[in-house]
Structure 1
Amino acid sequence: MAITVRRHHHPLLFLSIFLLLSYNTQAATLALFNKCAETVWPGIQPGAGHDVLARGGLELRPGQATSLRLPPGWSGRVWGRQGCQFNPATSTGKCATGDCGGQLYCNGIGGAPPATLAEITLSQSATAQDFYDVSLVDGYNLPISMTPFHSSAKCVTAGCVSDLNKMCPAGMAQLVTGIHFHSFCFY
């Protein structure tokens, strides 16, 4: 999943595995890229008082991309959901990881651990700082990295791009529908 954040005259980020985020001076564009070999369903949860984007969820097949406009000052988190099956008529179902209440469209609901998170906070103006990080506070399910895109600042890549499932301590492991997942902080 790959995420890139771009704002003219300002540094931002690139999240690599499935999401890409781009900004300009008035608004930002969140471009989501699925770089995984499997379909991934991005979940998007805004911070309190911020707009829900794309109803909070969507489906991206391998190699597929889409983009969403972010208003100035937007904050929130994005994560990849795996192993999802949804009823096309009702948009209800379940995801093996990152599930948000059995819904395709999370509508402001966060994902159930384990889920690797990309967290973004945009400033209200093009001259103030924006912030980004990759967090394992809710566990790990997919590799993600973020790197500045078209930025004049010297921001560094943030991410977790190794397959942590291969080195997960037994006490932190969780098996989900035959796939091995874990969380360092939650379990």
Structure 2
Amino acid sequence: MDHFSCRFSSLISTVVLLFLASYKGGVLAATFTFVNKCEYTVWPGILPNAGSPSLDSTGFELPKDSSRSFIAPTGWSGRFWARTGCNFVESGVGSCSTGDCGSGQVECNGLGAAPPATLAEFTLGSGGQDFYDVSLVDGYNLPMVIEGSGGSGMCASTGCVSDINRQCPQELRSGEGDACKSACEAFGSPEYCCSGAFNTPATCKPSVYSEMFKAVCPKSYSYAYDDATSTFTCSGADYTVTFCPSSPSQKSTSYSTPATEGAASQGSVTGSGAGVRGHRFRYWIWGRIGNWIWEEQPCSQMGRG
């Protein structure tokens, strides 16, 4: 096969594979990209909600100044968080000082974060709106921001860019001050946990502790019924979850007031790179083609003989 024919054949195969990866059974996909801007390695954890498929990983290492992306199907819901202070031996066995999921491994294998931990929660709408939020209901361990791209609607960025650990009250401090507990975790009282007689919006009100979290991070969930100013919506977007953002981006500083409740996330099929919903899929494919054309690689380097 001559060089041009070889490259053209590989190009067609690449386009077909990208298309199939993006349309799983006719369902459009969304891309989650995790970015670590912390001055240290973090180990993100991924927990799908019941009924949602697992993504390519349930937990992984993310070194400083690195990123990793996953593709999730429409309808996926679940949560993400970052584990810190982890110590895993070569066999992958170990634990983390904050956000540990209790699996004893890098993969969380269906287990959630031990509080306190900052959570990113998603529900991807099936042909409708996505819901997302950053929650401090289970406490806080590091700053986190969610930003959407390529979607329609309000699509505001949200999260917590402040280091709450530095101003955490002594009674909420966890460990060596590397995380800050919620009042529920620290005291276990129904009025703080919105449980028992306090399990409704009418009976569970903000506490002095949740108000402290809200003052520092006004767009994050501070207690269980903090929906009105903490849940955000967007349609057809891809999402970037940044740990330890150095500063709010211009988009992040123009938050809109959200409405309605959010949920968590989950998905299937891994991937990296840009999103692939709607009209953006066409532009993404053509961008890939353009980059591919300028690459001077023989077929043998592209998996063909």
Q: TM-score range by the shorter chain?
A: 0.7 to 0.9
SS of 2:185's equivalent in the other structure is coil
1:3-22 residue CA offsets vs partner (Å, 9 max, x unmatched): xxxxxxxxxxxxxxxxxxxx
Cα distance in 1 for partners of 2:69, 2:86 equals: 21
- Describe how 1:1-187 pairs up with structure 2 within 5 A: 26-89=28-91, 91-101=92-102, 102-125=104-127, 128-175=128-175, 178-184=176-182, 185-187=184-186
Cα distance in 1 for partners of 2:123, 2:101 equals: 21
**Residue 27 of structure 1 aligns to which amino acid in structure 2?**
A
Higher CA-based Rg = 2
**Structure whose residues are more often helix by fraction:** 2
Report the CA distance between 1:179 and its aligned residue.
Answer: 4.4
Cα distance in 2 for partners of 1:88, 1:52 equals: 25
Q: Does the 8 Å contact 1:118/1:135 carry over to 2?
A: yes
Cα distance in 1 for partners of 2:160, 2:81 equals: 13
SS of 1:154's equivalent in the other structure is coil
Report the CA distance between 1:62 and its aligned residue.
Answer: 0.5
Query: Under a length normalisation based on structure 2, what TM-score does the superposition of the two structures give?
Result: 0.50
Cα distance in 2 for partners of 1:154, 1:69 equals: 22
Q: Does the 8 Å contact 1:137/1:186 carry over to 2?
A: no
Q: Which residue of 1 aligns with 2:245?
A: none
Q: Which residue of 1 aligns with 2:190?
A: none
Aligned length: 160
The range that moved more, 64-73 or 146-155, is 146-155
**Residue 94 of structure 1 aligns to which amino acid in structure 2?**
S
**Structure whose residues are more often strand by fraction:** 1
Cα distance in 1 for partners of 2:38, 2:49 equals: 27
Identity value in percent: 50
Query: Under a length normalisation based on structure 1, what TM-score does the superposition of the two structures give?
Result: 0.80
Cα distance in 2 for partners of 1:73, 1:168 equals: 36
Cα distance in 1 for partners of 2:125, 2:63 equals: 31
Structure 1 regions of 5+ residues with no counterpart? 1-22
**Residue 154 of structure 1 aligns to which amino acid in structure 2?**
M
Report the CA distance between 1:138 and its aligned residue.
Answer: 1.3
Cα distance in 2 for partners of 1:143, 1:30 equals: 18
Q: Which residue of 2 aligns with 1:18?
A: none
Cα distance in 2 for partners of 1:44, 1:62 equals: 19
Cα distance in 2 for partners of 1:151, 1:68 equals: 17
Report the CA distance between 1:33 and its aligned residue.
Answer: 1.0
1:110-131 residue CA offsets vs partner (Å, 9 max, x unmatched): 0111110000000122xx0110
Q: Does the 8 Å contact 1:141/1:182 carry over to 2?
A: yes
Q: Does the 8 Å contact 1:52/1:107 carry over to 2?
A: no
**Residue 185 of structure 2 aligns to which amino acid in structure 1?**
F
Cα distance in 2 for partners of 1:157, 1:55 equals: 25
